[in-house]
Structure 1
Amino acid sequence: MATGDYAADLNEIEALDKEYVFGTWAYQSEVAPTQIVESDGVTFTDADGTEYIDFSAQLMCSNLGHSADAVADAIAEQAQNGAYFAPGFATEARAKLGEKLADVTPGNLSKTFFSTSGTEAVEAALKIAKFYTGKDKIISRYRSYHGATAGSISVTGDPRRLAAEPGIPGMIKAPDPYAYGSTLDPMESLEYIDEMLMLEGDTVAAVLVEPIVGSNGILVPPPEYLPRLKEIAHDHGALLICDEVMTGFGRTGEWFGSDVYDVTPDIMTMAKGLSGAYAPLAATTVTDEIADHFEDNMLTHGHTYAGHPVACAAGLAAVETYQKENLIERSSEMSEYLEGRIDDLADSHPSVGDTRGIGLFHGIELTKRSDGREPFGTRADKLSKGSTIVDEVAATALENGTYVANMINTLIISPPLTITREDVDAAIDAIDVALEVSDSAMDA
């Protein structure tokens, strides 16, 4: 039964949802779902008729907004013509989407395994790296999120991994390029990884990174970081895997985060924007060399919904929409305006300790002290009951008509690529009011 203060104001559907459906990453006593009944463009509406600007594209995935009619039509048409066929059969949607990804991904990334979520894409990448290299270990980073399944949570550095540990063996964590919260300069963290690879000997299959860290703070590395990381990995016989689940499909003002740094990873994972979140779809794409390896070596991986026709139809229509509507270029063009408005907030609110980002992918990190930059939210808070000041800031923004995701100590600004300047202004106005909460909570 729905109990406690969190359940007091739930309507019938919300109460049913709370009683019969697990809330994710949550103490169930604190779950209080809000029923959403409608969406349009960059807004969505709850059961009380309140409309919100979607300033984080839900979980950084609704890149096309909520009115991508071509994608919805493609889903309906495929469902009518053939909703599902076993992965051993070919469908037009899957074949053409594979071809399309070979076209839009960097370099010689050419062959794809399709799955249904980002965590599954990472699982496939880990296995492919191990199969290809014959090695067992993976180096990832502490401020990372790669998924919730056994392998993906094991390479995740986010504290939500702790309940699932010890995890699978051979997963090693490295520091991040994060000047605000690390004792290492961003480029010094590369030297650390170089030394790790040397000390591990010839046992590491791959180094796995988000080109720009997403849910752990929108951490943008120096321009030379990712190219040098690929060199270091290859010098030690390891592959570079780029997790583009969040940074793909225009989020950074380029097709992929790797494109920002002119790097072609050996393996790329993607999801979220791949279908604009219209269907559960993910992909793991590899270079020609890795693809060729499996001509005469078995790819021992697969599942029932690999390359699901309806999901692939959504993905194909989504990528075509990015192209036809020039949304990648639009993201790049809107970036300067969004960054300027975020700078306005930083100038007006002492609790804004740092802002960073690229494209339509920005973070506002908060601080208790203007002189010492002490965070309101910490990693431990992800595992604790109750709300933080950062949660309260996000909740106040919602009360003022703007949904913005927050992770640990950072507000994540990642609107649909279709957002207008007017929408940005309205959302920034709501956050402007919300930041008064953190300003008032600062230490004297």
Structure 2
Amino acid sequence: MSEQEPPVESSLNEIERSDKEYVFGTWSYQNEVSPTQVVDADGVRFTTADGNEYIDFSSQLMCSNLGHSADAVVDAIAEQVRETAYVAPSYTTEARSELGKKLAEVTPGDLSKTFFSTSGTEAVEAAIKIARFYTGKQKIISRYRSYHGATYGSISVTGDPRRLMAEPGIPGTIKAPDPYAYGSTLDPMESVEYIDEMLELEGDTVAAILVEPIVGSNGILVPPEEYLPRLKEVAHKHDALLICDEVMAGFGRTGEWFGCDVFDVEPDIMTMAKGLTGAYQPLGATIVNSDIAAHFEENMFCHGHTYAGHPAAVAAGLATIETYQQENLIERASEIGEYLGDRIDDLAEKHPSVGDTRGVGLFRGIELSKHPEKRVPFGAREDKIDTGTTVVDEVSATAGEHGTYVANMINTLIIAPPLTITEDEIDEAIEAIDAGLDVSDRAMDA
């Protein structure tokens, strides 16, 4: 920091300063944390304490799928809390029973029985344990460009660099290559055959393959349409399960109910959170097929949480899914997602620093390049655990100065607006990103 730059604390209001002093900022060096107080949110917009208003073009942390005005969800939470604020997991409520039934209806194929937790990482923890209990095997194969959560099992199967500080993690986790044409020496489909060979060489010791059907915070990576079906074949060939982590891609984000629906694949186990309640309550879920469910009729389901199936959270989940259905938001996300894709293509044509665009529905990524002819990223994987500000951060910050919040991860802008967004609001946000991309254009190699 230069002498002319004021310390971070001087730009914060009283609440922000107190938060910085007494609350840990996540995934951060604490001297770089600069919290911003949000004082209001409505529709696809939110307002900060300094009076600035932003289009929420990343649904906060890719989770506010319904935006910030889902009154039916708010009413359901309030009604449930007035009726019964909490019961132990050995009891139940109408909302928990109905949400379990509803998830069996909207998830693909034979997925039928759910364990409720409070977050995506807990949903993944449950999936790991269930796979191990059911198969009697220990190893989990996941991929390098992945994020599955922050708790010890979930961070151990995570591939991105945030796992490094937590290692050694739980035993039995193995990383595989990704279906990512730009970042691997393998063709995307060759990476599946590599996993097939991994399973062969590991012997009959692998319980499951765990993947995000469409990778989220590691770059919005969409595999070829034949990838996930082939991956399921490979898993079952070796008597391993396929676990799909739908925490980020689920609930309409892709224009389908779930990311695996894009590829017409039914996993053996699915994890979900974020869009399950549209972030109105913390809720995770792990749903399994009927064979796995039947296994635990005679074998102990040795897992649980105090807040498993918390009444307010499951009430929010039920109301959220009903809102998706009543307002036809899944189909709408597919339709308006095409418009969003076209507008992103407009940016790619205008800005030489756009190296690649990817995504489906309202789940899109803009990857940047600092070379006019070659793909040379501004951001690197190690930036996730390093200090300082990158060019990609500056692009997002400039978009913010023009009234649009857009998250970025490593070298990619993560565009995932609420499913309720309009074309006019997309246009407004695209203008702000247009201004941000001028920054990366100027930073390119000559």
Range into which the TM-score falls when normalised by the shorter chain: over 0.9
Q: Partners in 2 of 1:4 and 1:86 — Cα distance?
A: 50
> Matches of residues 406-421 of structure 1 in structure 2 within 5 Å?
406-421=408-423
The match for 2:191 is 189
For residue 208 of structure 1, the aligned residue among 210, 214, 225 is 210
Q: Partners in 2 of 1:8 and 1:180 — Cα distance?
A: 42
The match for 2:380 is 378
**Shift in Å, 1:6:** 2.0
Secondary structure of 2:372 counterpart: coil
Letter in 1 for 2:30: Q
1:385-442 per-residue CA deviation (whole Å, 9 max, x = no partner) reads 1000000000111111000000000000000000000000000000000001000000
> Matches of residues 238-387 of structure 1 in structure 2 within 5 Å?
238-387=240-389
**Shift in Å, 1:335:** 1.3
Letter in 1 for 2:86: Y
For residue 425 of structure 1, the aligned residue among 416, 424, 427 is 427
1:49-101 per-residue CA deviation (whole Å, 9 max, x = no partner) reads 11100000011000000000000000000011011000000110100000000
Q: Partners in 2 of 1:190 and 1:443 — Cα distance?
A: 35
Secondary structure of 2:297 counterpart: coil
Q: Partners in 1 of 2:9 and 2:179 — Cα distance?
A: 41
Letter in 1 for 2:285: A
Q: Partners in 1 of 2:166 and 2:224 — Cα distance?
A: 32
**Shift in Å, 1:336:** 1.1
1:296-332 per-residue CA deviation (whole Å, 9 max, x = no partner) reads 0000000100000000000000000000000000000
Q: Partners in 1 of 2:313 and 2:359 — Cα distance?
A: 30
Is the CA contact 1:4–1:29 (under 8 Å) kept in the aligned structure 2?
no
Q: Partners in 2 of 1:412 and 1:123 — Cα distance?
A: 25
Letter in 2 for 1:155: V
The match for 1:135 is 137
Q: Partners in 2 of 1:173 and 1:6 — Cα distance?
A: 39
Which shows bigger deviation, 268-277 or 179-188? Answer: 179-188
Q: Partners in 2 of 1:159 and 1:63 — Cα distance?
A: 27
Q: Partners in 1 of 2:38 and 2:410 — Cα distance?
A: 25
Is the CA contact 1:41–1:67 (under 8 Å) kept in the aligned structure 2?
yes
Letter in 2 for 1:401: G
Letter in 1 for 2:363: F
1:232-277 per-residue CA deviation (whole Å, 9 max, x = no partner) reads 0000010000000001000000000011111000000000000000
- Percent identity, aligned pairs only, is 77
**Shift in Å, 1:5:** 2.1
Q: Partners in 2 of 1:243 and 1:384 — Cα distance?
A: 27
Letter in 2 for 1:375: P
> Matches of residues 138-153 of structure 1 in structure 2 within 5 Å?
138-153=140-155
The match for 1:36 is 38
Is 1:104 matched up with 2:106?
yes
Is 1:80 matched up with 2:88?
no
Q: Partners in 2 of 1:385 and 1:130 — Cα distance?
A: 38
Letter in 2 for 1:138: I
Give the TM-score of the pair, scaled to structure 1: 0.99
Letter in 2 for 1:80: R
Letter in 1 for 2:209: V
Q: Partners in 2 of 1:66 and 1:36 — Cα distance?
A: 12
Q: Partners in 2 of 1:70 and 1:111 — Cα distance?
A: 26
The match for 2:116 is 114
Q: Partners in 1 of 2:339 and 2:305 — Cα distance?
A: 43
Secondary structure of 1:295 counterpart: helix
Is the CA contact 1:129–1:206 (under 8 Å) kept in the aligned structure 2?
yes
**Shift in Å, 1:181:** 1.4
Secondary structure of 2:436 counterpart: helix
The match for 1:404 is 406
Secondary structure of 1:298 counterpart: coil
Secondary structure of 2:359 counterpart: strand
For residue 59 of structure 1, the aligned residue among 55, 58, 61 is 61
Secondary structure of 1:363 counterpart: strand
The match for 1:15 is 17
- Matched residues, number: 442
Letter in 2 for 1:59: L
**Shift in Å, 1:182:** 1.3
Q: Partners in 2 of 1:79 and 1:7 — Cα distance?
A: 38
The match for 1:443 is 445
Is the CA contact 1:64–1:417 (under 8 Å) kept in the aligned structure 2?
yes
Q: Partners in 2 of 1:173 and 1:8 — Cα distance?
A: 44
The match for 1:47 is 49
Q: Partners in 2 of 1:79 and 1:253 — Cα distance?
A: 32
Secondary structure of 2:174 counterpart: strand
**Shift in Å, 1:4:** 6.7
Secondary structure of 1:242 counterpart: strand
The match for 1:70 is 72
Give the RMSD, CA atoms, in angstroms: 0.8
For residue 177 of structure 1, the aligned residue among 163, 176, 179 is 179
Alpha-carbon spacing, 1:166–1:4, altered in 2? closer, same or farther (3 Å): farther
Unaligned runs of 5+ in 2: none
Is the CA contact 1:401–1:427 (under 8 Å) kept in the aligned structure 2?
yes
Q: Partners in 2 of 1:337 and 1:370 — Cα distance?
A: 27
Is 1:154 matched up with 2:156?
yes
